[in-house]
């Protein structure tokens, strides 16, 4: 096996470590793994892929897997939104051609809820092994490399909110199988509105223990499990790490939660603002700091609590590109319903010191080596590779351009401060006119992201809403 993998195309091209691959094969044999789910994050951060039997793994480690390129060209409803049958040259991939999936052995993880099965993340490349510039993990890796070229590293923390509901009607009738399907009917697992209360945690502990143990069993370092603000809402936090590791953890955790809950008759949702009575919004707070290559935190104040030069420049960059970055941090139509004043979610572009209403919450204290900035604009639907890449590119631009943080906001909802986009359409426009992102990402990647989200926005605008029906049906 070792010789076959070492002589294979992936090893010869330097795309896989044969020793790591053989270690995975040994684990598969020793642990009785029957199938391995070879998955990758699509443009939306949703895991897709193929499931291989044990006998197919040597071939996958030798030559990779092939999958339709259209998996990178779909919107959330799973419609392909690029003209793949056109010869006009305005589609990034035509003819529903293949992409190459390259296994990442270091991500191999047996699944706690399916003990006979394991999961492994894959890189997505062109069939000839060339990088796909708009593949979102590639976008993040490029941003990380650009930061490192300046002698810097980013450290990112994962803090994610979600809800779990009991299924009442799973919506499995044939008429429900639309694109997208009819949402299931649900009810809560608790009454909620008892933020961080012990009795609510105890009641939910059997479910939360199953999720926590599942996360820990695949190597996700859980720090806290919390009862969040709203009914049936929870929050998990994890140890900080480099951006790639944090993004990997985010997509794995989101999938793990949904799969564990589904097996017990629950529906876990990371939707930004569910259309359910009394449901509250789900945010994803991105904790971030910058270190030098030796690991010294450049956000940690050395004398007073004043911002360091690096922290000030980074904040300045995040604020300067806040509107354009929303296409990555708030990628859905629904997410903009979360930007409302006085709801512990931001609505204005600004920063504050330990202020939970501000877009950027600066947690910088003299003597605290964990000093950091918390960006509260993202929601739990964000593709983590893209969201973290946009943090790095914005912050790095702040450093290279010599930006400085403005005065902090005392009132984070001050209407004199610049507003965040109120719709996905406005966010698309801000991103489309961003010269920084066009330079940093390249024209192909910027146009790809615009087309992908514009398709979603256009479908939304073409849909007749319940409000319209109530407003006009009997009035005219």
Question: Which residues in the chain are classed under CATH 3.10.20.70?
Answer: 1-89+97-132
pLDDT, position 91: 63
* 389 three-state secondary structure: helix
- Per-residue confidence of the chain (476 residues) as pLDDT tens digits? 778 998 899 999 999 999 999 999 999 999 999 999 999 999 999 999 999 999 999 999 999 999 999 999 999 999 999 988 877 666 677 888 899 999 999 999 999 999 999 999 999 999 999 999 999 999 999 999 999 999 999 999 999 999 999 999 998 999 989 988 899 999 999 887 888 889 899 999 999 999 999 999 999 999 999 999 899 999 999 999 999 999 999 999 999 999 999 999 999 999 999 999 999 999 999 999 999 999 999 999 988 889 999 999 999 999 999 999 999 999 999 999 999 877 778 999 999 998 888 999 999 999 899 999 999 999 999 999 999 999 999 999 999 999 999 999 989 888 888 999 999 999 999 999 999 999 999 999 999 999 999 999 999 999 999 999 999 999 99
CATH of domain 142-472: 3.30.590.10
Cβ atoms of 84 and 91 within 8 Å: the answer is: yes
Model confidence over 418-432: pLDDT tens digits?
Answer: 999 999 999 999 999
Separation between Cα atoms, residue 66 and residue 333, nearest integer Å = 32
131, 15 Cβ separation under 8 angstroms: no
Give the chain's radius of gyration (CA, Å). 23
pLDDT in tens, 337-390: 999 877 778 999 999 998 888 999 999 999 899 999 999 999 999 999 999 999
Rounded distance between C-alpha atoms, residue 72 and residue 94, angstroms: 12
Q: What is the dihedral of CA 133, 137, 140, 146, to 10 degrees?
A: -60
Helix (H) or strand (E) holding 213: helix 198-217
Domain with CATH 3.30.590.10 in the chain: 142-472
Q: Rounded to the nearest 10 degrees, how much is the dihedral formed by the CA atoms of 408, 413, 416, 417? A: 50
CATH 3.40.640.10 is held by the domain 1-89+97-132: no
- Cα three-residue angle 334-255-230, rounded to 5 degrees: 50
Integer CA distances (angstroms), 226 to 23, 166, 194, 201, in order: 36, 19, 11, 7
Lookup: tokens for 59: 């071939």
Strands (E), 310-419: 351-353, 360-363, 372-375
């Amino acid at each position: 096996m070792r010789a076959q993998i070492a002589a294979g195309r992936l090893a010869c091209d330097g795309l896989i470590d044969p020793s790591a691959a053989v270690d995975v094969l040994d684990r598969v044999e020793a642990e009785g793994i029957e199938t391995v789910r070879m998955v990758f994050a699509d443009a939306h951060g949703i895991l897709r892929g193929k499931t291989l039997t044990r006998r197919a793994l040597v071939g996958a480690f030798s030559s990779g897997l092939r999958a339709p390129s259209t998996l990178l060209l779909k919107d959330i409803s799973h419609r392909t939104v690029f003209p793949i049958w056109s010869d006009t040259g305005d589609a990034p991939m035509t003819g529903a051609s293949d992409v190459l999936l390259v296994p990442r052995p270091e991500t191999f993880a047996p699944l706690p809820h399916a003990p006979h099965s394991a999961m492994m993340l894959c890189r997505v490349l062109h069939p000839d092994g060339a990088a796909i510039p708009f593949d979102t993990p590639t976008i993040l890796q490029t941003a990380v490399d650009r930061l490192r070229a300046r002698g810097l590293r980013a450290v990112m923390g994962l803090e994610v909110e979600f809800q779990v509901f009991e299924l009442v009607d799973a919506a499995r009738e044939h008429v429900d199988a639309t694109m997208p399907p009819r949402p299931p009917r649900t009810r809560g697992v608790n009454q909620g509105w008892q933020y961080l209360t012990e009795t609510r945690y105890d009641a939910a502990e059997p479910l939360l223990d199953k999720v926590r143990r599942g996360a820990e069993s695949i190597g996700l370092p859980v720090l806290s499990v919390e009862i969040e603000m709203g009914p049936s809402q929870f929050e998990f936090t994890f140890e900080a790490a480099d951006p790639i590791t944090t993004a990997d953890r985010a997509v794995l955790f989101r999938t793990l939660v949904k799969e564990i809950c589904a097996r017990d008759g629950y529906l876990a949702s990371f939707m930004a603002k569910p259309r359910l009575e009394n449901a509250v919004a789900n945010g994803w707070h991105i904790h971030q700091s910058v270190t030098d290559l030796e690991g010294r935190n450049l956000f940690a104040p050395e004398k007073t609590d004043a911002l360091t030069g690096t922290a000030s420049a980074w904040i300045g960059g995040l604020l300067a590109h806040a509107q354009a970055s929303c296409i990555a941090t708030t990628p859905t139509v629904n997410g903009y319903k979360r930007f409302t004043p006085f709801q512990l979610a931001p609505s204005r572009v600004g920063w504050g010191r330990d202020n939970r209403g501000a877009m950027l919450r600066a947690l910088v204290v003299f003597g605290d080596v964990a000093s950091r900035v918390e960006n509260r604009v993202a929601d739990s639907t964000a593709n983590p590779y893209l969201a973290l890449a946009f943090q790095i590119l914005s912050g790095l631009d702040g450093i290279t351009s010599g930006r400085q943080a403005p005065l902090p906001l005392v009132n984070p909802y001050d209407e004199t401060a610049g507003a965040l986009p109120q719709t996905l359409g406005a966010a698309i426009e801000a991103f489309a006119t961003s010269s920084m992102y066009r330079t940093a990402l390249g024209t192909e990647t910027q146009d790809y992201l615009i087309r992908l989200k514009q398709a979603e926005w256009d479908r939304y605008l073409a849909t007749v809403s319940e409000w319209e029906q109530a407003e006009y049906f009997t009035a005219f």
